[in-house]
Structure 1
Amino acid sequence: MGTWPRPDHFLEDLGLSKAYLHEDQFFPGWTVLVFHRHVTELFQLAPPERVQLIEDVSRVAGALFEIYHAKKINYELLGNQLPHIHWHVIPRLPNDPAPLEPVWRVPHTPVHLTGVTLQHTIDRVRSALRGKG
């Protein structure tokens, strides 16, 4: 898997977390928010941190909803494989191949964006996050 999250997929520093475009863009817009300091559980955060983190997740979700015209946003905070607080924020689109399944159960070939396509996607999400979308 290499370095995760990938520095070339960086979107925005949100204060307590950083947002990255997920390496697999089979589900377009799939974004991951990684908490800055190492913590594994929500209850380990101070109440103001929990509030700010969910506000950051909501901000990212709103931006993705707007630019991808999502039917639904999925939110995942697991930590089984990588024990560090990180939220997956995944737009589910009208053409979703399996709208009732979690993304983890949808068999697919990963889509890796590169070059101009990657940069265009990052720019779109950044612009929406900054209120310019």
Structure 2
Amino acid sequence: MNHRCAVCQHLREPSFLKIKEYPDSVLYLNEDQFFKGYCILEYKKHVKEFFDLSEEERKNLMNHVCFTAKALQTVFSPDKINYELLGNKVPHLHWHIIPRFKTDPAWPEPVWTRPHPPKKYSIEQAQQVIFEIQKWL
């Protein structure tokens, strides 16, 4: 854990947006739901680059990404799932897993290209979405 890292700090805090905790990572519903079903999978160890993981760690993490994507496909029926592993702003491994719809305002561009007002769910709304996703994980 790195005490100055935003992801490390987030992992230490309780969150009503937590969907599932794996031994090596935690899946959250993104706070901003402008893109419906947007999730973030945060790796528990403070690791900056994907290649720094062992082969087994990479395999496990990618399985969790795939399980999440399949659950999102089942729950939301998007036209496409986007996967983002950037780390330019927050150099800690975390995957953005984003259901995309041809009707969304940024289609077909990446979500980062379209500034938008955040859409935040109430705790009850978030819990309902989380419950639906959890049924498929």
Same fold (TM over 0.5): yes
Asked whether the 8 Å contact 1:9–1:20 carries over to 2, the reply is yes
Q: Which amino acid aligns with 1:103?
A: V
Paired-residue identity, %: 41
- Any stretches of 5+ residues in structure 1 without a counterpart? none
Would you identify which runs of 4 or more consecutive aligned residues in structure 1 move more than 4 Å? none
Aligned counterpart, 2:3:
none
1:74 matched to 2:82? The reply is yes
Secondary structure of the corresponding residue to residue 136 of structure 2 = helix
Aligned equivalent of 1:43, options 51, 61, 75:
51
CA distance in 2, matches of 1:75, 1:114: 25
Aligned equivalent of 2:134, options 123, 126, 129:
126
Aligned equivalent of 2:60, options 52, 60, 66:
52
Counting matched residue pairs gives 128
1:23 matched to 2:40? The reply is no
Q: Which amino acid aligns with 1:17?
A: S
Asked whether the 8 Å contact 1:68–1:93 carries over to 2, the reply is no
CA distance in 2, matches of 1:113, 1:98: 20
Asked whether the 8 Å contact 2:33–2:118 carries over to 1, the reply is yes
Asked whether the 8 Å contact 1:16–1:36 carries over to 2, the reply is yes
- Any stretches of 5+ residues in structure 2 without a counterpart? 1-5
Aligned counterpart, 1:86:
94
Aligned counterpart, 1:103:
111
Cα drift, residue 112 of structure 1: 0.5
Q: So what's the TM-score if we normalise by structure 1?
A: 0.90
1:10 matched to 2:7? The reply is no
Asked whether the 8 Å contact 2:102–2:108 carries over to 1, the reply is no
